[in-house]
Amino acid sequence: MLSYRHGYHAGGFADLLKHAVLSLIIDYLKHKPAPIRYIDTHAGAGIYNIGGEMAAKTGEFAQGVGSLEFDDFPVQLKVYGDLIESYLFQERYPGSPLIAADLLRPQDELKLFELHSTEAPRLQELFAKDRRVRVSPTNGFLGLPPLLPVQHARALVLIDPPYEIAADYTDAVTSLKAAYLRMHNGVFALWYPVIDGAPHLPMLNSIKAFVDSKLWHFELAVRDESVRGKMSSTGMLVINPPWTLATDLTEAFKAITQQLPFDSVKFSAECVRD
């Protein structure tokens, strides 16, 4: 049984990096009219109450998006900033599928996977009237590869597992590899945490071994060292990123790192393969 609930973490510093990356990629892909197929293998509930008990219990929202100054938001992230601000007025924070649905166009489509017995029905309800969206309450690692390749269209895949079980690290590699081999030119984004013992490193190395196109890692570190049970950094691996992504993120996070309430905040962009 799954215990992870994203409501405790919504709008934290990990969502900030992940959703900034997602918004920038979608914004870039929309420069061409061809349809986009967006696949979210671990979609969550889609929208979160940031004024409720879950957010208060961890304080992660307050230390993440809740600490940002929207009057002085980096221009590179305007699309993300404007979208988020419109939800914050209602004490809500949008998850990845809602951000994607809001930014995508009528000709695009969204395939969302969510396994949790509470989150999946909420996600289905949220998108019940959106004909572009298909929600599947099944395993996203297994559901991803058969959805590729996409003919006459572009594909954007977000893989965002909770890593509450060790198998998530290996399942992410297996699923991503199968998907990438079916569609080399898709854009693939994988979220990973940097925690004690660095279990993300073997995963990143395995991915590097089969990817032969552009590959970048983006990390936002909020502590110099791992505190037991806490993330020291949050990371996004992106295969085939838009060429503007690294520059835009680097510029935008110069300002954002100043606003986050941690003693030491660093953003890094590493080109693994060009």
Ligand X SMILES: C[S@@+](CC[C@H](N)C(=O)[O-])C[C@H]1O[C@@H](n2cnc3c(N)ncnc32)[C@H](O)[C@@H]1O
Q: Looking at the annotation, which residues are catalytic?
A: 160
- Report in angstroms how near the CB of residue 140 gets to ligand X at its nearest: 4
Q: How far is CA 110 from CA 100, 187, 229, 243, in A?
A: 8, 14, 34, 23
Of 39 and 207, nearer to ligand X (C-beta) is 39
What's the CA gap between 84 and 188, in Å, rounded?
23
- Report in angstroms how near the CB of residue 15 gets to ligand X at its nearest: 6
Show contacts with ligand X in window 106-135 (CB under 6 A).
113-116, 119
DSSP 39-96: EESS---SEEETTSHHHHHH-HHHHTGGG--GGG--GGGHHHHHHHHHHHTTTEEE-H
Residue 193 in contact with ligand X, rule: CB under 6 A:
no
Picking from 126, 108, 152, 146, the residue whose alpha carbon sits closest to that of residue 44 is 126
Residue 60 in contact with ligand X, rule: CB under 6 A:
no
Picking from 71, 70, 74, 91, the residue whose alpha carbon sits closest to that of residue 7 is 91
Q: Which residue has the tokens 């660093």?
A: 266
Q: Which of 20, 24, 43, 215 contacts ligand X by CB under 6 A? A: 43
Question: Can you say how many angstroms the Cα of residue 211 is from the centroid of all Cα atoms in its chain?
Answer: 20
Residue 81 in contact with ligand X, rule: CB under 6 A:
no
Helix H or strand E encompassing 25:
helix 13-29
Residue 37 in contact with ligand X, rule: CB under 6 A:
no
- Report in angstroms how near the CB of residue 250 gets to ligand X at its nearest: 22
Q: Please, are residues 94 and 100 in contact by the beta-carbon 8 Å criterion?
A: no
- Report in angstroms how near the CB of residue 231 gets to ligand X at its nearest: 12
Q: Which of 52, 66, 121, 162 contacts ligand X by CB under 6 A? A: 162
Residue 271 in contact with ligand X, rule: CB under 6 A:
no
What's the CA gap between 88 and 74, in Å, rounded?
18
Partners of 193 in the β-ladder? 234
Residue 200 in contact with ligand X, rule: CB under 6 A:
no
Of 177 and 213, nearer to ligand X (C-beta) is 177
Residue 44 in contact with ligand X, rule: CB under 6 A:
yes
Of 44 and 235, nearer to ligand X (C-beta) is 44
Residue of closest CB approach to ligand X: 95
Of 80 and 113, nearer to ligand X (C-beta) is 113
Question: Can you say how many angstroms the Cα of residue 268 is from the centroid of all Cα atoms in its chain?
Answer: 17
- What sections of 90-229 are H helices per DSSP? 96-103, 119-126, 140-143, 167-182, 200-210
Show contacts with ligand X in window 17-36 (CB under 6 A).
18
- Report in angstroms how near the CB of residue 116 gets to ligand X at its nearest: 3
Of 64 and 140, nearer to ligand X (C-beta) is 140
Residues that bind ligand X (CB under 6 A): 2, 4, 6, 15, 18, 40, 42-44, 95-96, 113-116, 119, 139-141, 160-162
